[in-house]
Structure 1
Amino acid sequence: MEKSAKGKPLSAQFGKRHIQAILMFFCITIEFASRNILNVAIVSMTDPDASSNPDVPTYDWDDTNIILSSFSWGYIILQVLAGQMGISHGYKWVVCAAMGVNSVASCLIPFLASQWGSAGVMGTRVVQGMAQGFFFPIAHLMIGKWAPENERSRMTTFVYIGVGVGGVISGPITGYLSGSSWGWPSVFYVFGAMGLLWCLAWSWAGYDSPATHPTISPSERKYIEESLGQHEDKGSIPTPWKAIFTSIHYWAVVVAFLGSAYGNIFITTETSQYLVNVMNLSVEWNGLVNALPHIAAIVTLPLYGYASDKIIERQWLTRVNARRFFQLYGSYVQAIVLAWMAFLNESQVALAIVLPIIGNAAIGGILYGSDVNLIDLSPRFAGVTHGFSNTLSSAIAMLAPIVVQYTVTDMSDPTQWRIPFLVASLGYAVTSTFFGFFASGDRQWWDAGPKDQSETTDKPAEIIDLENVI
């Protein structure tokens, strides 16, 4: 193993790649928190008794589920472009601008709600969705450029644990502020300010790649680039769209994304209303209870990342079978949890709180299934492949709040919640089973660029190795 000038293995040295991971962790944390706060705050926005301050405005809206779905309308628009821009022009200033737009939009929600009602909130959430569509493709691209192969699971863990941290901080803070004399508007100002502060830190210390970092050590740069088999002297490489879209292994990831995105949107946007209306939790308790599943994810994600690395390193499972295991484990447990919750009644409050914790403790496994598998297939094009996958899955996920809007006519009736819970459950199980059959853990031939593609013009169509499926 190559060593630094101090004689320690480079893999054990804190370097510039870790600073990039820390910055992206905070990006994902703020992004997910600012996405999630409306799911809790909307209860206070429509409840005159939620705040201790009678001057805090509230609204009589009957389209709350449509408001919650509006984020996804914008989220699906720019993700492919985000990944492509990150490859062709560098992602540093792209993601900085996206966070700036997202944060300013957050600060504007209270004003626009007072001026244009639910339409003003929906318009602002569409803008936030468009801006936040940049973050996950660029996070995947950053990991693909900065994470040596043997550190990929750990860096992915660290960056995406921001989703759990964002969920943990957003729920209690939103519940507390909404019930205080400051009221729900303060929530959007607080998280908007956090995003603007992140922009300052990123503009100072964020970089597009090891090759563009002015103070990275030559040994760390060499370590990263040789591990990935990529160097920056090839220039801009066109995206091999045809090869990507004809790869069954890539479509295995896309299909898995469909089920997990739908289930995730259903859980994050509808759980608050379910707990308040069916289980009769207060706004403050609702915020705290919503944080518990995210805490479970924070605890289990590092364990799964460590286990994933060790399983592959010690060859207990091949890379692809490790990806299959974590995908199926996470999705099947979550599917069972959602199916169980479909049949709870208002007297089973404890189960309604505990079951989502169990589901979230398990669902983090898919990060080491379909999510990180995109980087396995193509580190170079992880941004655009994630962008397309997330775009398509987010379009499907938009249906989750709409399904609730039209199937749950009485929000306090637990029997009417059965259909949306069961649809989400089936989505997790069916799509992950497809991934289990058709996934691959190998870097694909089309990741290497145009020269390699021209040399493989006679390459036969991909053959699925059914013997390696199990």
Structure 2
Amino acid sequence: MATVVELNPTSEKSEFVLGTAVNKTPPRKVLSLCSMRYGIAFIAHFCNFTLIAQNSIISITMVAMVNNTNHLPHLNSSAGLNGDQHEASKHLSIKGTGYGGQFALWQRWAPPNERSRLCTIAMSGMTLGIFTVLLVGGIISEALGWPFVFYIFGGIGVLSCLLWFILVYDDPVSHPWISDPEKEYILSSLNQQFSIEEQPLPIKAMLKSLPLWSMCLCSITHQWLVNTFIIYTPTYISSVFKVNIRDNGFLSSLPFFAAWVFGILGGQLADFLLNKNFRLITVRKIITILGNIPPAALIVALPYVQSSYITTIIFLTLSCALCSLCQAGVYINALDIAPRYASLLMGTSRGFAHSSAVLVPVVAGFFLNQDSEFGWRNFFFVLFAINLLGLIIYLVFGKADIQEWARERKLTRL
């Protein structure tokens, strides 16, 4: 026996009552910023801030560790830097699955016309975390010692966990503090069914799904660009301009502050285009193009403008900022094509995507060690080619409608 609850967003509102649906007149839209759904988005923002900050700590502290001759007397700067970058890549890759769980929330918390902005508010915490670590990591390392960077952000992680456990619930129905109008608004907006019994995972159909594969591959190639920023922005600025760790942290943080702002604005832009009757797949692909081609092109141009300090910083900042637009594009595409499996798909795709955190230092080390004069240029050209390949695959095969294998099956009593 199984009970299925269907929500009809077009004509009637559905309310959960003991596993059945009671239909009423749909409520009007409730306030946004003071609502529980936006509160959860900001809590997720803080948790993502903590998660990526802890991952990114080593990208700035490695400069202090390498320069500290008391800790590394037997290593030269180049060897120590390459080793620490490899450690940074491992930390980035093992946390890939940490991002997927929150997408199960948006399946039940995010009305379709607010999905892009809610998701990007949550995900933009990642770039804010990188910005903060790069900004204050060097200062803390110089003032207190590099181990205190780990202690401080570890404590912030404990606080974010407490907030998550206390304030975040699976769905609006189970949340004890949500207002009735907001609960009714969310439930009436969701065009999906919630079955009490779990349905078997359609593994074969998923493996044959070109839209799913295109989403995963584009995420991997775009994450190659993201990991290049995270791991190599401090290194590039330090090698080109010979600045100390305090200045390096400040200069390295500027692109990620811009990315934080653009990431949130990207969600607003996506929902704006949807409200202007753009097709959902068109919006996802436009945003994904803007988050891939311009950033990669600006990165390729860096070796040709490195004689200009100001131009280099501007290019880095614009590239990193535009890169974050993909948060409202390919990165939330799983909620479009398979909302019931969004958590699994996002966790898996992000896990695969962070494999680039292992490959980026390997490829970069090969080019930088082989040719010190043209190493950065060749490395950036490879980055552009990889990024373009993933984007083309997504543009050809990407979809935004719920796939057949991801549709809710109507369960009946036998």
* TM-score category (smaller protein): 0.7 to 0.9
1:25 aligns with 2:45: yes
Instruction: State the TM-score, normalized to the length of structure 1.
Output: 0.76
Q: Which residue of 1 aligns with 2:56?
A: 36
Asked if the contact 2:128–2:257 (Cα under 8 Å) also holds between the matched residues in 1, the reply is yes
Is 2:353 aligned against 1:393?
yes
Deviations 1:195-228, CA, capped at 9 Å, x for gaps = 0111222221122222332343454334323422
Question: 2: CA distance between counterparts of 1:210 and 1:241?
Answer: 29
Q: Which moved more, 1:67-76 or 1:154-163?
A: 67-76
Residue in structure 2 matched with residue 282 of structure 1 by the alignment: 244
Q: What is the identity, as a one-letter code, of the residue corresponding to 2:367?
A: T
Q: Of 140, 145, 166, which residue of structure 1 is paired with 2:103?
A: 140
Residue among 208, 213, 216 paired with 2:178? 216
Who is 2:282 aligned against?
321
CA contact (8 A) 1:258 1:397 kept: no
Residue in 2 that maps onto 1:374: 334
Displacement of 1:402 in angstroms is 1.1
Match of 1:459 in 2: none
8 Å Cα contact 1:253/1:435 also seen in 2:
yes
Displacement, 1:297? 1.4
Q: Which digits, 9 at most, give the CA deviation of each residue in 1:448-469, with x for residues without a partner? A: 34558xxxxxxxxxxxxxxxxx
Q: Is the 8 A contact 2:56 2:133 kept in 1?
A: yes
Q: Counterpart in 1 of 2:130?
A: 167
Give CA deviations for 1:311-331 in whole Å, capped at 9, x if unaligned.
11112x311111111111220
State percent identity of aligned pairs.
25
2:202 to 236, 240, 248: 240
State how far apart, in whole Å, the 2-side matches of 1:8 and 1:225 are: 12
Distance 1:325 1:47, change over 3 A: same
Distance in 1, matches of 2:250 and 2:134, equals 6
TM-score, normalising length: structure 2:
0.85
Structure 1 pair 264–12 and aligned structure 2 pair: CA distance change class (3 A): closer
Contact persistence 1:25–1:162 (CA under 8 A): yes
Q: Which runs of 5+ in 1 are unaligned?
A: 50-55, 77-128, 453-470
- Structure 1 residue 406: Cα displacement: 2.6
- Residue 434 of structure 1: CA displacement? 1.7
Matches within 5 A, 1:52-451: 57=71, 60-61=74-75, 62-73=79-90, 76=93, 129=94, 132-180=95-143, 182-315=144-277, 317-345=278-306, 347-409=307-369, 413-451=372-410
How many residues are matched? Answer: 387
Q: Tell me the CA shift for residue 44 of structure 1.
A: 0.4
Matched letter for residue 409 of structure 1: N
CA drift at 1:299: 2.4
| Whole-Å separation in 2 of the counterparts to 1:223 and 1:138 | 24
Deviation at 1:190, TM superposition (A): 0.7
Quick check: 1:66–1:405 contact (8 Å CA) kept in 2?
Answer: no
